[in-house]
Chain A
């Protein structure tokens, strides 16, 4: 199944700093819950993994990340991550594009799209939740991205990378809360 998410958010950092961070998968990957870069093959090729917990089983996607398009002038990047579970329970492909624009006043706007295609157990059992789960994951990604970028700029040690398995069940809990919030009008978005 396929989920496409579009997202835009503003960062207080100048564009070049954000770009330096965004164009380095070793920095970006740890912002995604459960993800890590295991090996830098070349400037544009990386090996990595994502751990996810769905109920009783943990699935570990291992694969590669390739930067397909990198434009330092236009501040555009397109990364394709492909992975499959070692035990053969599924596969996932994620295409992430990012584009930065300088904001008046020194900040940066980041517009990104992510297109997630998954097959296997996650798609089978999570079809009802995957859209919301992806959204929540992406929100966490955004927050961590901003936080780690800020930490790096300030020269302090970033919080350790969260390479623990991300629990889809916990995310689903957050999703349910979000949905309840929507129903009861707490979430004004």
Chain B
């Protein structure tokens, strides 16, 4: 028999082609929109044109006259079922349908059900709502003015628009360090409101079957189990008779984490009519009403010695949460993991403060391809370090090296309380510097400057915090952030494995199969990974925050090891030796000291159903729910090199080098794809994307005409490299990689822009950095 190797199995570290791609290439994928059930009808949401208005009345009579319109649901109808308001993931309440007033433009006001999509849409147009406009709060700073209109008058005891104040670190020690500092820098910045804008918008097909008593909801959900639990908690639906199926998802990026009113409305409509109801958002509805990301107004300050040793960090943020506090964050952590803002640096004093406010904007605060506010944190520290380098006239590379947490300091406890698992920041940075040719670029930059040409080099040496999370501290609405894996090894040695997480394009069907192939000694091709169906998948909180590999990946490994434990008994029985004489080696069960005497996992699986040892249960299955002991801390260094036209402000990214360290790599090809995607989204945020509002609260870019996605034309070539520093606490040392590139890249890009213009006295440019903004700066400085 030929030797079994990781390569022959398609195990960990192999660039196995993605199993899921064939069906997508052949058009055989199955998205929510692809579900057509017999008798299915359609729902369309009537949305508010105003950002803040009193509702004096809703007249559905004209809508009901539209041919094909079957029913109109308003808040009044929902009140009967106690469903006009629902809890948000942050423990606030959100209107399912506006009752007394609307709080943001595009808020849900009524739901029209029609026999066709067209009838429903025509019906929605015909619903007459009598609004009385109220003063609008758009600016989060003005939201706190004493005279500001009270937005959430529905909340008992709410006297102003303030949501919470949250602090981390040591305020007093930090103040003192600033008072005694030789050098300080300060910069206010706005990490703009943006939107994940997945290619597939949100939607569902709800099928409440009065005959079977079962409810099936095909839904665009990154967390189907969590969503089912929420539904069971707020509605008459029972968890065991409700099945949520999250089929193929066309991207999520955090946008499909919250529970949206549309899901509830389609379900209520199905319950009322006894027919399946489909509701799918339009692009504009998705951008204007579903979970936005970021919107942090942050002042970052660093204190340091003259020779560049950082002595303190102070970060103060005003967070614009929109009309309802619906951000997706663990209960104890209202600003998520934002206090990771000391980044890759050994900073002895830090104080972080976040105040959140209500405004008349869409609710959200989801993590757009990042782990709970880590991108905002990473951006703040990486921009601040560059600012300090500028102040000290020090090379930003040298300043970073001087302040990095050193390899021998791990596990490292930061002053804000995080225990970093492992890292070697300087090593990753050196790989990036060598790859980009840093010294030569600086020389070139000096020559170009002498000629009046503009060239910038931007660095970001980020540290992420991924894999939420240890259940002692992390939960979503009280649910522990742990995840399950269930493995069934069939008699013929093939495997069905199910997970509580949910891929939205990450390639779980391939990578989890690879982890199991490595652990079980079976080829990845014989391992089927299933996710997203609450009837079959083990419980789990879903995929976001780069948690699938750190949490569910751990569950996969430990479930596989349980299978192996039982396999030892069966192998001992088959080989007629005692269990103590069996070892798992070379991907099979071997007799210690006699490797020729061995049984493969496939042989053991067959025996598990045909020849199990006496007293042993038949079958070969295992389930494991993994509670990670800690977070993982992926890191890396990104370097962006760009040229700016000094007359027009147009720019071109010449090089972008990304060196990532995400610990053990499961599939290098998928890893590269993930990094390409994240860098592309990072570029979009840094140079294109911002959800803007006018003074009346009108959303000014609620379509792809004004909210831009990068295309192949704008995206530069990404130069990737990596270092590998495994996580010491994860069963296979993996840290997660899906989001690092979005976390680390915006700061590298903005640092490059500021670097290109630093000799003109420019210290900050707000994202998105557009040619127009650059031209204005150049014009102001007398260059263009």
- From DSSP, what is the main secondary structure of chain B's interface residues? loop
> Does B131 have its Cβ within 8 Å of any Cβ on chain A?
yes
Residues 40 to 94 of chain A near chain B (Cβ within 8 Å): 57, 84-91
Q: Is the CB of B694 within 8 A of A127?
A: yes
How long is the Cα–Cα vector from A121 to B129 in the complex, in angstroms? 14
How long is the Cα–Cα vector from A68 to B703 in the complex, in angstroms? 38
Partner of B130, one of A1, A88, A119, A125: A88
CB distance from B50 to the nearest CB of A (A): 6
Q: What is the 8 Å Cβ interface bit string for chain B, positions 690-728, against chain A (1 contact, 0 not)?
A: 000011111111110110000000000000000000000
Q: Is the CB of A2 within 8 A of B705?
A: no
Inter-chain contacts of A120 with B (CB < 8 A): 49-50, 105, 698
Residues 95 to 138 of chain A near chain B (Cβ within 8 Å): 117-121, 123-125, 127-128
Q: Is the CB of B125 within 8 A of A124?
A: no
Q: Is the CB of A119 within 8 A of B701?
A: no
How long is the Cα–Cα vector from A121 to B49 in the complex, in angstroms? 6
Inter-chain contacts of B51 with A (CB < 8 A): 119
How long is the Cα–Cα vector from A1 to B130 in the complex, in angstroms? 21
Q: Which 3 A-B pairs have the closest CB atoms?
A: A120-B49, A88-B129, A123-B698
Inter-chain contacts of A125 with B (CB < 8 A): 284, 702-703
Given known A87-B128, A91-B133, contact A117–B702 (CB-CB < 8 A): no
CB distance from B666 to the nearest CB of A (A): 44
Q: Is the CB of B696 within 8 A of A90?
A: no
Given known A2-B694, A117-B696, contact A87–B131 (CB-CB < 8 A): no
How many A residues face the partner with a CB closer than 8 A? 21
Partner of B128, one of A88, A119, A127: A88
Given known A120-B50, A124-B105, A128-B705, contact A1–B129 (CB-CB < 8 A): no
Residues 120 to 172 of chain B near chain A (Cβ within 8 Å): 125-131, 133
> Does B511 have its Cβ within 8 Å of any Cβ on chain A?
no
Q: Is the CB of B706 within 8 A of A119?
A: no
Which residue of chain A has the shortest Cβ distance to B697 in the bound complex? A119
Q: Is the CB of A57 within 8 A of B125?
A: yes
> Does B286 have its Cβ within 8 Å of any Cβ on chain A?
no
CB distance from A123 to the nearest CB of B (A): 4
Tier of interface size on chain B:
20 to 34
A sample of 8 more A-B contacts (CB under 8 A), given A119-B133, A124-B699, A128-B706, is A2-B696, A87-B125, A87-B126, A90-B49, A119-B50, A119-B698, A125-B284, A127-B694
How long is the Cα–Cα vector from A128 to B126 in the complex, in angstroms? 26
> Does B503 have its Cβ within 8 Å of any Cβ on chain A?
no
CB distance from B46 to the nearest CB of A (A): 9
> Does B221 have its Cβ within 8 Å of any Cβ on chain A?
no
> Does B288 have its Cβ within 8 Å of any Cβ on chain A?
yes
Inter-chain contacts of B133 with A (CB < 8 A): 91, 119
25 contacts between A and B (CB under 8 A): A1-B698, A84-B131, A85-B49, A86-B128, A87-B127, A87-B129, A88-B49, A91-B49, A91-B133, A118-B696, A119-B49, A119-B50, A119-B698, A123-B694, A123-B696, A123-B698, A123-B700, A124-B284, A124-B698, A124-B699, A124-B702, A125-B284, A125-B702, A127-B700, A128-B706
How long is the Cα–Cα vector from A62 to B288 in the complex, in angstroms? 27
Inter-chain contacts of B699 with A (CB < 8 A): 124
How long is the Cα–Cα vector from A88 to B56 in the complex, in angstroms? 11
CB distance from B576 to the nearest CB of A (A): 76
Partner of B700, one of A1, A57, A91, A117: A1
Scoring B49, B106, B130, B694 by chain A CB atoms within 10 A of each residue's CB, the highest score goes to B49
Q: Is the CB of B49 within 8 A of A1?
A: no
How long is the Cα–Cα vector from A168 to B284 in the complex, in angstroms? 19
CB distance from B697 to the nearest CB of A (A): 8
How long is the Cα–Cα vector from A142 to B8 in the complex, in angstroms? 79
Which residue of chain A has the shortest Cβ distance to B124 in the bound complex? A87
How long is the Cα–Cα vector from A118 to B130 in the complex, in angstroms? 17
How long is the Cα–Cα vector from A84 to B129 in the complex, in angstroms? 11
CB distance from B92 to the nearest CB of A (A): 25
CB distance from A82 to the nearest CB of B (A): 10
CB distance from B741 to the nearest CB of A (A): 31
Inter-chain contacts of B125 with A (CB < 8 A): 57, 87
Q: What is the 8 Å Cβ interface bit string for chain A, positions 1-32, against chain B (1 contact, 0 not)?
A: 11000000000000000000000000000000
